[in-house]
Amino acid sequence: MVFFILSKYVTKWIGTPLFRSGLRLRNKLIPTRNKIGYSDTNYLIDMACLIPYSQKIISLAIHDESKHRMIDFRQQRQEQQQLSKVEADNKNNNTTTTTTLAEDTMKMMTDPVVTRRLSNIRVAVLDEYLRQSLLPNNRWSDVENNWRYHLRVVAWARKEFLISKYGPHIQEAMMAYPQLRNSPQLLGTTTGGSGGSLRRRRMFLDLVHRGEINLDNNESNNSTTMTSPFLQLPLSSVIINAFRMKRWNDEKNTERYSYQVENGDGEIDSQIETIMTRNHVDVPVDTDLSSTNIEDILDVVTRGYVKNCGPLNALCQEANFYQLWSREYVKHLGDYLLERTAARRSVDTQQQAHTNDIEEGMPMISQDTVILDIGAGDGVLMHCLRDYMERKVMGVPDNRKINSKKSIPKTGGVIPTMVAIDDMSWRIFTKGPVEKLSAEQALDKYSTTLITQTTPDNATDSTSSLSSDQQDRGPQVIVLCSWMPMGEDWTALFRKEGVDEYILIGEADDGSVGDNWLTWGNPAFYAKNDDADDAETEVNNDEDGISPTPPYVKDRYHRWDMDDLTKFQFSSFDLAVSKSSKTVSFRKSL
């Protein structure tokens, strides 16, 4: 125990100098800024310089110090409340009002005044540690020369700030809206049991940086709802109210965002220049930052991705997902995929030969349409989509379980083959069935001719009379891909394999999903892309200023922005001034 206490205080003071020395060494090994404005993100070099280790030490120190200060504040607050009760009872002729400690704690946790005070305490602690680590000289040169263009350091500092400022607001939302706690994304496992409850509890303890909330209190006792991943998803109205997003802009507005960065609080004298079509804030290196708070500094570095954020952004950052799925989003996407499945079935009059009834009382599964969620991560999206489709096809109301053998599929009710795919390279804890395959392996396995493979030897004359084109035709393949890694492009593979449609979820055109030219065809990024094929686009990129042809257009795919789904999306990069996430379909032309 003594060793533990001593080690805690020792690590508290070595984190900052270790981080600064590691960052200096790292910047000597690799230039701090390259041609696109960011340093090369070589994680192995970061590890060799002990940067991730020192970051963890600083994060733990911030957590520990914040926890102690908040405990002191809560104790003082509770003592004041008890004293106020005694005084009130004396005024009311000694009529005592009894409340339990849990009730007092609940009232305090949902008190906006307390929430703001706790937030200020945590931000003050964060400012102390980050200023020592990132601003040793309190000059902009510390930012510009050491860490501004190191994406991992910027992301770490932003995450620490968001969870410090909005952690108490997340606590308040979780207590006020139990539907959020039931979300499959926030559960530790889909199998339930004590292990799942333990993982869920640990995640929330890390999320809100405290250990006093009993998450099992006020949980829903509706066993039917709890067994349905789809019904566990929060409604959009719950997300908006819980995370205070009623006044957030529901459309993308980069011009308004740029204006706010340039004409913000005015504490940092700066000008905007454009690098890679992104707004870059140019600040004189001799600018004194001693009186500038850490929020304003990070807001300039991230180009507005701090002060325009809220509790939802902090939740996504700490819980490690890009998008909080809403029930309406899954419903609309599921309806669309069912329509696509039905349209394919109507083409083949012999479709009944190509379905499988996998279980009594469950819907039939079409092998003529395959939905692949590539890069599925934790598998929650496909898990909820499958549950919604089964419930709709079976006609199961919300107050009944889907596994009832009394359920009978509606006439013609069939769901597509649905598979969540991930190569597990990010080591994400899965919360739904996920098959470990690469994108290439998945397309090779599931885009083959399933009809021929499933035709039985004793087929009837009507089945045998199918034309060779019908028998050899492969399934309709629709790929879902949510939040493709930044700078990578998987869509060229999708088109090469001839998928019928791929649906991209995340930031579109100029964000952090995929490659802005190869994936989205944004002409503003064409000239900056080393992989762009000049020969094939020379005709369309002449002196008259005609835009080059996007890769998906050359491959005979057409784009459709699915705006009916976009309005139900809530992502880590949405801002109060601009919505960033979209859902976009790319369908192969006939």
Provide mean pLDDT across the span 4-29.
79
Spatial distance between the Cα atoms of 250 and 404, rounded to a whole number of angstroms:
40
Cα torsion 462, 467, 473, 475 to 10°: value is -20
What is the pTM for the complete model shown? 0.81
Backbone phi and psi for residue 588, each to the nearest 5 degrees, phi listed first: -70, 130
Residue 33 has pLDDT above 80, yes or no: no
Residue 419 has pLDDT above 50, yes or no: yes
Residue % of the chain over a pLDDT of 90: 41
**Residues 6+ away with beta carbon under 8 Å from 3:** none
Provide mean pLDDT across the span 83-90.
70
pLDDT tens digit string along 451-462? 444 444 444 443
Lowest-confidence region among 121-125, 291-295, 384-388, 452-456: 452-456
Which residue, 543, 510, 540, is CA-closest to 525? 510
Q: What pLDDT score was predicted for residue 408? A: 53
* More confident: 195 or 489: 489
Provide mean pLDDT across the span 113-139.
90
pLDDT band at 54 (very low <50, low <70, confident <90, very high): very high
Spatial distance between the Cα atoms of 479 and 21, rounded to a whole number of angstroms:
46
**Residues 6+ away with beta carbon under 8 Å from 380:** 184, 185, 229, 325, 431, 432
* More confident: 530 or 83: 83
The secondary element (H helix, E strand) that includes residue 436 is strand 435-436
The b-or-e profile of 282-295 (16+ CB within 10 A means b, else e) is ebeeebebeebebb
Residue 360 has pLDDT above 90, yes or no: no
Q: What pLDDT score was predicted for residue 364? A: 76
Q: What pLDDT score was predicted for residue 226? A: 55
Q: What pLDDT score was predicted for residue 500? A: 96
Spatial distance between the Cα atoms of 274 and 244, rounded to a whole number of angstroms:
32
Provide mean pLDDT across the span 368-391.
93
pLDDT band at 224 (very low <50, low <70, confident <90, very high): very low
**Residues 6+ away with beta carbon under 8 Å from 568:** 236, 326, 328, 329, 332
Instruction: Tell me the β-bridge partners of 558.
Output: 587
* More confident: 448 or 367: 367
Which residue, 443, 321, 474, 322, is CA-closest to 373? 443
Residue found by looking up tokens 């393949």 in the block: 477
When mean pLDDT is compared over 223-227, 340-344, 394-398, the highest value belongs to 340-344
Q: Confirm if 432 and 229 have CB atoms less than 8 A apart.
A: yes
Spatial distance between the Cα atoms of 306 and 473, rounded to a whole number of angstroms:
51
Q: What pLDDT score was predicted for residue 5? A: 56
Spatial distance between the Cα atoms of 205 and 212, rounded to a whole number of angstroms:
8
The pair of three-digit structure tokens given for residue 422, joined into one six-digit string: 């991930």
Provide mean pLDDT across the span 402-406.
54
pLDDT tens digit string along 244-292? 999 999 888 766 555 555 544 445 655 545 444 455 678 888 999 999 9
pLDDT band at 31 (very low <50, low <70, confident <90, very high): low
Quickly count: other Cβ atoms within 10 Å of residue 427's Cβ: 5
* Degrees, nearest 5: CA angle 342-569-259: 140
Any idea how long the chain is?
590
Q: What pLDDT score was predicted for residue 297? A: 93
Residue 581 has pLDDT above 80, yes or no: yes
pLDDT band at 536 (very low <50, low <70, confident <90, very high): very low
Residue % of the chain over a pLDDT of 70: 67
* More confident: 399 or 468: 399
Q: What pLDDT score was predicted for residue 385? A: 96
pLDDT band at 8 (very low <50, low <70, confident <90, very high): low
Residue 24 has pLDDT above 70, yes or no: yes
Q: Confirm if 199 and 254 have CB atoms less than 8 A apart.
A: no
Residue 201 has pLDDT above 50, yes or no: no
Spatial distance between the Cα atoms of 74 and 204, rounded to a whole number of angstroms:
19
pLDDT band at 512 (very low <50, low <70, confident <90, very high): confident
DSSP 462-482: HHHTS-HHHHH---EEEEEEE
Contacts 24+ apart (CB under 8 A), 280-289: 280/37, 283/140, 283/143, 283/144, 284/140, 285/139, 285/140, 285/141, 285/144, 285/145, 286/139, 286/140, 286/141, 287/139, 287/140, 288/138, 288/139, 289/135, 289/138, 289/139, 289/140, 289/142, 289/143
Residue 468 has pLDDT above 80, yes or no: no
Q: What pLDDT score was predicted for residue 39? A: 53
* Degrees, nearest 5: CA angle 573-207-575: 15
Residue 318 has pLDDT above 50, yes or no: yes
Residue 328 has pLDDT above 50, yes or no: yes
- Mean confidence (pLDDT) of the chain: 77
pLDDT band at 178 (very low <50, low <70, confident <90, very high): confident
Residue 400 has pLDDT above 60, yes or no: yes
Task: For residue 332, give Cα distances in angstroms to 327, 504, 572.
Answer: 9, 15, 21
Which residue, 524, 520, 511, 523, is CA-closest to 561? 520
Q: What pLDDT score was predicted for residue 389? A: 94
Q: What pLDDT score was predicted for residue 407? A: 54
The pair of three-digit structure tokens given for residue 327, joined into one six-digit string: 């029930």
3-state helix, strand, coil in the chain (%, to 5): 50, 10, 40
Q: What pLDDT score was predicted for residue 416? A: 92
